[in-house]
Amino acid sequence: MWYVFLDELGSLWYKAEALVVHAPKFLKEISEGGFMKTIAIANQKGGCGKTTTAINLSSCLVQRGQKVLLIDCDPQAHASMGLGVDPEHKRSMYSVMTPRESERLAIENIVIPIKENFDLAPSNVTLSAVEQEFASLEGRESKLAQVIETLEDSYDYVIIDCPPSIGHLCFNALRASGEVIIPIDMSLFSLRGVARLSELVMLLKDQCGHKTKPRALVTMYDYRTRYSSHVLEKVKEQFGDGVFDTVIRYNIRLRETVDHGLPVGDYDKHAIGYKDYDRLAKEIITSQVDTMADVASVLSSADELWHRPDNHFDAVVEASILEENTSEAEDASDTGYTI
């Protein structure tokens, strides 16, 4: 009967180990700096729908009841302009990330409200100075992560629009994020550009111990062409399960909205582009809910372990002792002795 007791302890130990080992991992994924989820949007190839995705994903998350901060980390300030913000705005992400402490501002001091539950941390060309100023700065890879940590749980999602290049700004965005969305348009050049970004993700893991989950998003997809289907298959081959089910179809409305400084959902709710980005927002929210369910399962196992009644273990021990005594009595009987 002792083996039953050992099996019982082994099972409970496994559950305890799951809590210790896996729960922090799950919790880290859903709570980088609080209950916020930070997502970078990056691809070193321009024109692949990176900024379009940043703006419209943010807006659709808001329309689904989330509070969102969009950080424009691109010195070209396309996300800022795409939301009707003047790129000559004096306060920008440079004011937050500057290494000159006397000039540094808290991110709350530069945030611009776009609409209810949707804020923008704008950019301008001065942000490009970071690439040179961070060159010899200690801890330079974590500066943006430290800024985001000060927000605590002020937002449900922080979306970071990265520059179309590999440098300190992109590295900081990936370091601050638990996930990176890689928009891939219908071009093999876009797919090949992913290789450098993947190398950066691996570098982060190896040198900083930070794991950023890459997920590919197919953009500008045209169902009418065989070439689009060919590129889609290539993306699935390279990323496997790391490809969003949602595909962003080519839609002229997504281009028109830039001229009006509005997300596509505020410009035309009947547009294909709005429907696609709303579907993407739903997929992202659902994946977070699934992760939280995993956490709940682990915590439930821990609760079962903690509240297991003492008499359960006593009963197992008593049964084991009784079986051992019975076995010894049978052995003694066989040799003519009694106990």
Q: Look at the alpha carbons of 87, 88, 89, 90 in this order and tell me if their dihedral is positive or negative.
A: positive
- pTM (predicted TM-score): 0.76
CA–CA separation, 264 and 270 (whole Å)? 9
What domains lie within the chain, and their CATH numbers? 34-283 (3.40.50.300)
pLDDT score at 101: 87
pLDDT score at 238: 84
Residues in the chain: 339
Q: pLDDT averaged over consecutive 10-residue blocks of the chain (339 residues)?
A: 50 50 47 72 88 97 97 96 89 93 92 97 94 86 93 93 91 93 86 76 81 92 89 87 94 90 94 96 84 48 51 57 59 47
pLDDT score at 183: 94
pLDDT score at 11: 56
Cross-sheet strand order for the sheet of 37-41: 112-115, 118-121, 68-72, 157-161, 37-41, 179-184, 213-221, 243-249
pLDDT score at 187: 80
Q: Tokens at residue 37, please?
A: 């989820």
Backbone angles phi, psi at 49, to 5 degrees: 95, 20
Backbone angles phi, psi at 220, to 5 degrees: 55, 35
